Amino acid sequence: MAKRQAEIPGTERVVDKDVEACAEVYVKSRNKRIKASESEVADKTALIEAMRKAKLTVYKDEDHGLVITITPGKPNVKVTEDEPEHDGDEDTEKD
C-alpha cells in the first residue's frame, strides 16, 4: 500500500469556489456543444445525400432565403442566408 505524502503547512491545495463554479458551467456548455456538433454532422450528411439524390449542386429556397451549395471534391455543403431585399421604405426616417 502506498504511503500518502504528509502535507507541509502553507502548501495546501488552493480551493477557489468561483473557479470551480465557472468550470462546472463551462463543462456543461462544452458538453452541450459537443452533443449539438454530433447532431449537426448527421444533419449535414443527410443534406448532402439529399442534394446528391436530387442531382443538385446549388439549391435556392426563396421562401426561407437560403442558398445551399455543395462544394466539388471532398463532400461539403455551405448554407447561406440571402440578404432581405429592401424596397427603400422600411429604414428611412421621415421629417
Please state, in angstroms and rounded to a whole number, the distance separating the CA atoms of residues 17 and 26: 14
Please state, in angstroms and rounded to a whole number, the distance separating the CA atoms of residues 17 and 24: 11
Please state, in angstroms and rounded to a whole number, the distance separating the CA atoms of residues 80 and 62: 12
Q: What is the pLDDT of residues 20-40, one digit of tens each?
A: 999 999 999 999 999 999 999
Q: What is the pLDDT of residues 32-62, one digit of tens each?
A: 999 999 999 999 999 999 999 999 999 998 8
pTM: 0.58
Beta strands across the sheet bearing 66-71: 58-61, 66-71, 76-81
